[in-house]
Amino acid sequence: MESAHNINVDMSVRIGALELRNPVMTGSGTFAAGREYAEFMDLGRLGAVVTKGVSLNPWAGNASPRIAETASGMLNSIGLQNPGVESFCANDLAWLAEQDVPVIVNVSGHSLAEYVAVTERLDAEDAIDALELNISCPNVDEGGMAFGTSCAAAADVTRAVRAATGKTLIVKLSPNVTDIAEIARSVEAEGADAVSLINTLLGMAIDTDTWRPKLARTVGGLSGPAIKPVAVRMVWQVASAVSVPVVGMGGIMNAEDAVEFMLAGATAVAVGTGNFVDPATTMHVVDGLERYCRERGIDRVSALTGALKR
């Protein structure tokens, strides 16, 4: 047999103007700006770091408890706590700029004007390679998911933000909709270079001793292995509906999970909750993906994208 085990696997993928050394990124909000994880892994071996959501002004986030564990996953209602864009640029970004890894900044806003203002501010930063527009956070009262659950609103905010930046623009979609492919088509039509999905699924858990919700905010976003089948299905639907690249996420814990997303149509993947379980999960996914390809004689990882057999 051909010595498949010796082939060199080309792990690079392309998202808009962005060339990534491999398809493995971090899920926004689960990795801060990477600093905490640098003690446990090599940031330079990631496809990209995707930062926590950044807004124009500081946001305090929601009351505690902010998380509740559920079967094979967790609910969170952090509420996009962040120090605001100026502090982000002065601290987190300044640190990230020194690391050898592409930087994707997740953008949040309460209103269209805020989304545009943050984008304009971030557009001025050379250290940023791409923006991920978060129109899918279920944990804030105004803005967030409200922009991601109607085609018209999603199109409006994408158009406005597109006009404010020349950087690669990824729009992060909410799974809390009837037809996610329709939303994906709307943002593609307004100039999104890629879409990422899924953000968390709106959920709820109740303490049967106290009869109270387990989260102070009552409802929150479900993530982790529990949501993976829903996420894979949505990636498959969206990849079939648009021609821009798809970044797939939702419950990825290992390389096989990542392969599933790629076969369904994802060009790249992100690990979110998996970082909490093992801070080196992303490294295991990178190594495992390469091994997976090598063992099967696949010479470039991008060959997996959309290769689903039917």
Ligand X SMILES: Cc1cc2nc3c(=O)[nH]c(=O)nc-3n(C[C@H](O)[C@H](O)[C@H](O)COP(=O)(O)O)c2cc1C
Which of 13, 18, 52, 154 lies at the binding interface for ligand X (CB under 6 A)?
Answer: 52
CA distance 119 to 132: 10
Q: In this chain, which residue has its C-beta nearest to ligand X? A: 29
- Smallest distance, ligand X to C-beta of residue 103, A: 15
Q: Which residue has the tokens 């993906």?
A: 289
CA distance 199 to 249: 8
Which of these is catalytic: 89, 137, 151, 293?
137
Residue number, 226 or 269, with CB nearest to another protein: 226
Residue number, 109 or 225, with CB nearest to another protein: 225
On whether the CB atoms of residues 188 and 242 are closer than 8 A, the answer is yes
Residue number, 9 or 257, with CB nearest to ligand X: 257
- Smallest distance, another protein to C-beta of residue 175, A: 20
For residue 240, the tally of other CB atoms under 10 A from its CB is: 14
Residue number, 67 or 112, with CB nearest to another protein: 67
The entry of another protein, ligand X, none near residue 199 (CB within 5 to 8 angstroms by kind) is ligand X
On whether the CB atoms of residues 60 and 114 are closer than 8 A, the answer is no
- Smallest distance, another protein to C-beta of residue 74, A: 6
- Binding residues among 234-273 for ligand X as defined by CB under 6 A: 249-252, 271-273
Which of 99, 158, 186, 199 lies at the binding interface for ligand X (CB under 6 A)?
Answer: 199
The entry of another protein, ligand X, none near residue 252 (CB within 5 to 8 angstroms by kind) is ligand X
Strand partners, 246: 195
Q: Is 161 exposed, middle or buried (0-12, 13-18, 19+ CB in 10 A)?
A: buried
- Smallest distance, another protein to C-beta of residue 37, A: 7
The entry of ligand X, another protein, none near residue 148 (CB within 5 to 8 angstroms by kind) is none
137 is annotated as an active-site residue: yes
**198 cis-preceded (ω within 30 degrees of 0):** yes
- Smallest distance, ligand X to C-beta of residue 142, A: 16
Phi, psi of 74, rounded to the nearest 5 degrees: -155, 155
- Least Cα distance to 237 among 148, 171, 161, 173 occurs for 173
Q: In b/e form, how buried is each residue of 201-235, taking b as 16+ CB within 10 angstroms? A: bbbebeeeeeeebbbebeebbbbbbbbbeebbebb
Residues with catalytic function: 137
Where along the sequence are the contacts to ligand X (CB under 6 A)? 27-30, 52-53, 76, 78, 80, 106, 134, 137, 172, 199-200, 223-224, 227, 249-252, 271-274
